[in-house]
């Protein structure tokens, strides 16, 4: 249900375009938000903390790829999802 609402929010060329970078970042962001809420209640759940760090790394790599390939789509995505821009090293 959440995925279908995202497809209507971000217009895409095809319905099958669920493997796009934008959709992957969106689904990872939802997982991050759910895990963050879980960890606020269960502070010593170290397995979930490790999973959260792994998901954050995946999202960071996808966003880095998108910022290299298409800066306009990157800016639009981080504005829609209300996430901070990456630090440049």
One DSSP character per residue, 49-77 reads HHHHHHHHHHHHHHHHHHHHH-HHHHHHH
In this predicted structure, the answer to whether residue 9 has a pLDDT above a threshold of 80 is: no
Q: Global pTM?
A: 0.80
When the pLDDT of each residue in the chain is averaged and rounded to a whole number, the result is: 87
Query: Which pLDDT does position 18 carry in this prediction?
Result: 85
Residue bearing the bigger pLDDT, 1 or 41: 41
Q: Which domains does the chain have, with CATH numbers?
A: 2-7+18-81 (1.10.287.10)
Q: How far apart are the first and last CA of the chain?
A: 37
Half-sphere exposure of 21 (CA within 13 A, CB side): 19
What tens digit of pLDDT does each residue of 31-46 get? 999 999 999 999 999 9
CA–CA gap between residue 60 and residue 42 (Å, rounded): 25
What pLDDT was estimated at residue 8?
54
């Amino acid at each position: 249900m959440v995925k279908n609402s995202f497809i209507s929010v971000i217009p895409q060329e095809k319905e099958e375009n669920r493997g796009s970078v934008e959709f992957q970042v969106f689904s990872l962001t939802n997982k991050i938000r759910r895990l963050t809420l879980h960890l606020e209640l269960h502070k010593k759940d170290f397995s979930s903390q490790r999973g959260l760090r792994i998901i954050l790394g995946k999202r960071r790599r996808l966003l880095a790829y998108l910022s290299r390939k298409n800066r306009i789509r990157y800016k639009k995505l981080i504005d829609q999802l209300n996430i901070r821009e990456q630090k440049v090293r």
